[in-house]
């Protein structure tokens, strides 16, 4: 009976501290003669082995938390995530939210980036964590910033400065991604010569606040676009490509046939139906675009 209790305890310990098959035989060897001892003995041995492996119960997991920083006196409430089992500095990635504001979708993407080994920060572009619940409000918030892009730039740069100073981040390896409105922000930041290694736009706006000057764009650019995106015209796509060519930018433009605007957001279909706007989730495009982003950062964020 005690042997079965021990086996159950060991399985629980093995999953909790993520030591796995390599350390398991060592633990079994240590406690074979004591298999009938109480749960306390098993726990103490497991903790010793975990500490020897450089792990603690709090480690080997993604840490996510709300953080505050400021731009022009406005409090910005971002969301930071990183894997605290990684002991070396790593690239940092800024995430610019959709026109809805910094919501759970943006937070999920930040955590996904942390799981890939990056430290990621979702920016609060609207200030004070403000979110829109209706497309009319979302459009108002987004347009206000795009018409006053100096404000948007200041908020972006404040977030970048915060991320660079985080103890987990290599300040020389910073990139940005953005969704819809956020993709447009990230592309316009790149147009203005921001010192970023790479910028990825997921179904983002292609319109230029100010067209890029030749040689101004430092970042490599990846645009992931839905082939059935009603928010962007063929003329805008052609104008963007011409602008990038004239500026001498290193860019890729990938189109996902049949994918609508907001194709990466699982909530898009329900939101589209609710508000009668042409947005919808596309699982295939979501998966493939994320894979393209990973490949892009593997190449652009090398030391």
CATH code for the domain defined by 62-300: 3.40.50.1820
Alpha helices in the chain, H assignment, sequence order: 2-17, 20-31, 39-52, 104-115, 135-147, 149-164, 181-191, 234-247, 268-275, 283-300
Q: Confirm whether pTM is higher than 0.75.
A: yes
State the pLDDT at residue 40. Answer: 45
State the pLDDT at residue 34. Answer: 53
State the pLDDT at residue 7. Answer: 37
- The tens place of each residue's pLDDT in the chain, 303 residues long, gives 334 333 333 333 343 334 444 444 444 343 344 544 554 443 443 434 334 334 444 455 899 999 999 999 999 999 999 999 999 999 999 999 999 999 999 999 999 999 999 999 999 999 999 999 999 999 999 999 999 999 999 999 999 999 999 999 999 999 999 999 999 999 999 999 999 999 999 999 999 999 999 999 999 999 999 999 999 999 999 999 999 999 999 999 999 999 999 999 999 999 999 999 999 999 999 999 999 999 999 999 987
State the pLDDT at residue 216. Answer: 97
Q: What is the spatial distance between Cα 201 and Cα 182, in angstroms, rounded to a whole number? A: 8
User: Residue 2, exposed/middle/buried by CB under 10 A (0-12, 13-18, 19+)?
Assistant: exposed
Tracing tokens 């982003």 back to the chain, one arrives at 293
State the pLDDT at residue 41. Answer: 41
3-state secondary structure 157-224: HHHHHHHHCCCCEEEEEEEEEEECHHHHHHHHHHHCCCCCCEEEEECCCCCCCCCCCCCCCCCEEEEE
Tracing tokens 């992931």 back to the chain, one arrives at 224
Q: What is the DSSP letter of 279?
A: B
Q: Which residues contact 154 (CB under 8 A, 6 or more apart)?
A: 71, 72
Identify whether the C-beta of residue 101 lies closer than 8 Å to the C-beta of residue 130: yes
State the pLDDT at residue 186. Answer: 98
State the pLDDT at residue 303. Answer: 77
Q: What is the spatial distance between Cα 28 and Cα 25, in angstroms, rounded to a whole number? A: 5
Domain limits of the chain? 2-52, 62-300
Strand order in the sheet with 74-83: 62-71, 74-83, 119-122, 90-96, 169-179, 198-202, 220-226, 251-256
Identify whether the C-beta of residue 175 lies closer than 8 Å to the C-beta of residue 196: yes
């Amino acid at each position: 009976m005690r042997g079965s209790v021990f086996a159950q305890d060991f399985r629980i310990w093995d999953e909790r501290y993520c030591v796995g098959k390599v350390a398991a035989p060592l633990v079994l060897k240590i406690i074979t003669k004591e298999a009938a001892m109480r749960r306390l003995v098993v726990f103490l041995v497991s903790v010793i082995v975990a500490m020897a492996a450089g792990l603690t119960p709090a480690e080997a997991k993604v840490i996510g938390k709300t953080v505050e920083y400021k731009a022009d006196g406005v409090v910005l409430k971002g969301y930071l995530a990183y894997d605290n089992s990684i002991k070396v500095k790593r690239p940092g990635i800024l995430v610019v939210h959709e026109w809805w504001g910094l919501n759970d979708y943006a937070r999920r993407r930040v955590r996904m980036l942390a799981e890939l080994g990056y430290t990621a920060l979702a920016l609060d572009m609207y200030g004070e964590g403000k979110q829109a619940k209706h497309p009319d409000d979302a459009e108002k918030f987004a347009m206000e910033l795009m018409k006053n892009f100096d404000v948007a730039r200041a908020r972006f740069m404040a977030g970048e400065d915060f991320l660079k100073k985080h103890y987990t981040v290599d300040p020389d390896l910073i990139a940005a991604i953005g969704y819809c409105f956020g993709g447009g922000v990230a592309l316009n930041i790149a147009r203005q010569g921001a010192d970023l290694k790479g910028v990825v736009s997921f179904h983002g706006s292609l319109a230029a606040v100010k067209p890029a000057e030749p040689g101004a764009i430092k970042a490599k650019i990846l645009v992931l676009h839905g082939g059935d995106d009603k928010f962007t015209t063929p003329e805008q796509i052609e104008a963007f490509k011409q602008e990038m060519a004239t500026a001498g930018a290193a860019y890729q433009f990938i189109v996902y046939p049949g994918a609508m605007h907001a194709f990466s957001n699982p909530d898009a279909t329900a939101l589209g139906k609710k508000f009668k706007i042409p947005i919808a989730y596309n699982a295939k495009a979501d998966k493939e675009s994320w894979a393209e982003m990973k490949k892009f950062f593997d190449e652009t964020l090398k030391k």
